Structure 1
């Protein structure tokens, strides 16, 4: 067993900011095993601020930005302590934390490309007493990459098929797909919305953070005209590498389509669910037509209506939950950032240029030492 093996802790809050996923992972000879995982709730007021900033509804001065960065770091430290308490593991037993942070802006193209995640890693290291690896995406962007998605490299570690090819589908606020082959090829990209738009619409009209089991959507009918307008967005026909987020697919983007105001809220929700299902399955058909199965993870696996809509369009390919292949679907991404911390501590690259478009392999993340 390598001296860098042992326990690592991964932390991430996704596009929907529906909670901080924390995963305690043991590595033995490079093989990860989930020891404990949980989703730590956000303080409601803090979550509202995060979403307002991410959707460009709230502009921050430097003082407000600094306070938000620290507040998010404190929340991430609480999530780390919570999973350690649940597992009855002392902080001294953990080699390092890998913290993705909370993305508030992702602009990987243009003259000055950047990606911005907040959650002060020095605060996490100080409050947990554990060395913390953070800022995983910017090295890839500096090398000409998208900085996202980063999880396909981890998917290849734990879900590579023994024959043929497979798609791993992450249903977070944004959906991303990874194509894996038994021979080692890996590709992947963000397809567009998964839960993010539905969550935001549900919050606006129901006061609920998400559409439980897709019941709100199931109570409405898909509007074909609106669906066609939404699918006409240029992002959907871009070739990979590509990535996106709430700064593009947000309520202001949706409200920019006049037909939205003419429809009942439940019909808009049904149409948003169809948008996710159609854009996801179209992307799979276009870029992974040889896939023999699709393994889903992320919060969207609990939305029965969304899973059924995706399965109906997969043309005979089985849609599985990651749980069916032995991995907690709610903790896949947090496990991936524990794995990225493991790679960083070992001095090994964490990106896949074939996925992100970076010029080459890069060491991802900076290490913030605990006191």
Structure 2
């Protein structure tokens, strides 16, 4: 059985594609190479537009999927060049795990029959990616979990347990991408692993920053830190029924969209943009803190990954709201924040090739463990 797998991830932040080549041969995984290719502004805008119903969207979605496959293929090519310098050839690669770009996430069933099943949709063209790379590709990871009655998300808790779980204490892992998701990893044998989406991560913060500063993200949270908290706006943002739902649950841009934000901001149109940025950052922190205190209160540490781990102001707000936990970056545990999600999909590809389950029913709500993903041979 081959031990090297590639993972490709482009998340709800819509900032680019992350790729890693992972060696699973040892007791601990080893990232052999890592590459990120940012999305062109025009491509990012098209993906954002396709998150909501739009003109001629089926044709545009198909073209965007082809463009994403081309980006993925360039990432794979660069990874293989770096791997080749270490004597690792394409023949050593078990498969490429390609998540795709989520543009719809509606996992809730509308009835008990098959026609009422939920769905989740990731733009991708894995057949084209297999053609371009000459490697086996595993894709469409989420739909089998949804078919089994699950949310299709989050899928990373099983991976988090493998690399961050401890025998002697409970650990929480928080991924802050466009949407934030939490994994609670109980110490060995105590309880099932729990995982769910907390709510918005960087999606609204980044969108507001781009609109008012022209920058794609608030570097270090400095702009947010320059503003003040608008308590009335924060209360309005948190007054969303999603936050009252019990796990398993998942969400996305379908709910926390720019239209949702615009409606919430109407009574606050006269407020300073930096104060709204401060409040949006506090909103993300509050949703994450509520998830940890509600379901991971026994945790000794909160390990943060994703782009949000680089937002110093956000990390400080998390620590202030969770004084009994050590809030740390995943980098302190050997895996940089922007490599965790991609590595997870390398692991999920390996699980699929070996016909092993990739989901945790305790996290997604599926009827049971399922082998996730479809294989597209080279």
Please report the TM-score for the alignment, with normalisation by the length of structure 2: 0.94
Of 58, 66, 76, 2:54 maps to 58
SS at match of 2:108: coil
Give 1:37 deviation, angstroms: 1.1
Whether the aligned pair in 2 keeps the contact of 1:114 and 1:138 (CA below 8 Å) is yes
**3-state SS of the aligned residue for 2:31?**
strand
Of 224, 235, 257, the match for 2:231: 224
- Looking at structure 1, the residues matched to 304 and 61 of structure 2 have their Cα atoms a distance apart, in angstroms, of 35
Give distance in 1, aligned partners of 2:12 and 2:135.
26
Identify the residue that residue 35 of structure 2 maps to in structure 1. 38
In the TM superposition, residue 58 of structure 1 has moved relative to its aligned partner by 3.4
Measured in 2, the distance between the counterparts of 1:286 and 1:59 equals: 42
- Matching of residue 300 in structure 1 with residue 300 in structure 2: no
Aligned residues: 366
Determine the C-alpha separation between the residues in 2 that align with 1:46 and 1:135: 21
Q: How far off is 1:260 after superposition? A: 3.5
Residue 47 of structure 1 aligns with which residue? 44
Q: Which runs of 5+ in 1 are unaligned?
A: none
Match of 1:17 in 2: 14
Query: Which residue in the other structure is 2:80 paired with?
Result: 84
Correspondent of 2:365 among 337, 350, 357: 357
What's the counterpart of residue 144 of structure 1?
A: 149
1:250 corresponds to which residue?
257
- 2:183/2:194 contact within 8 Å kept: yes
> Higher mean Cα deviation, 87-96 or 242-251?
87-96
Residues 199-232 of structure 1 deviation map (CA, whole Å, 9 limit, x = unaligned)? 1111111121111111121121110000000001
**CA distance in 1 between partners of 2:292 and 2:281 (Å):** 17
2:327 maps to what in 1?
A: 319
Q: 2:180·2:198 contact (CA, 8 Å) conserved in 1?
A: yes
Q: Is the 8 A contact 2:61 2:123 kept in 1?
A: no
Deviation at 1:63, TM superposition (A): 2.0
**1:284 is paired with a residue of what secondary structure?**
helix
Question: Residue 243 of structure 2: which of 223, 236, 239 is its match?
Answer: 236
CA contact (8 A) 2:50 2:61 kept: no
Is 1:160 aligned with 2:165? yes
Question: 1:27 and 1:244 mapped to 2: Cα distance?
Answer: 31
Matching residue within 68, 77, 96 for 1:72: 68
Q: Quote the Cα distance in structure 2 between the aligned partners of 1:345 and 1:216.
A: 45
Q: Distance in 2 between the 1:243 and 1:273 partners? A: 20
| 1:191 equivalent in alignment to 2:198 | yes
Name the TM-score, length of structure 1 as normaliser: 0.96
Distance 2:27 2:55 in 1: 43
Note the C-alpha offset of 1:30.
Answer: 6.8
CA displacement 1:87-132 (0-9 Å, x = unmatched): 3343333110000011011011142410000120011111111100
Matched, 1:116 2:121: yes
- Report whether the alignment pairs 1:96 with 2:95: yes
Residue 263 (1) aligns with residue 271 (2): yes
Greater CA drift, 42-51 or 337-346: 42-51
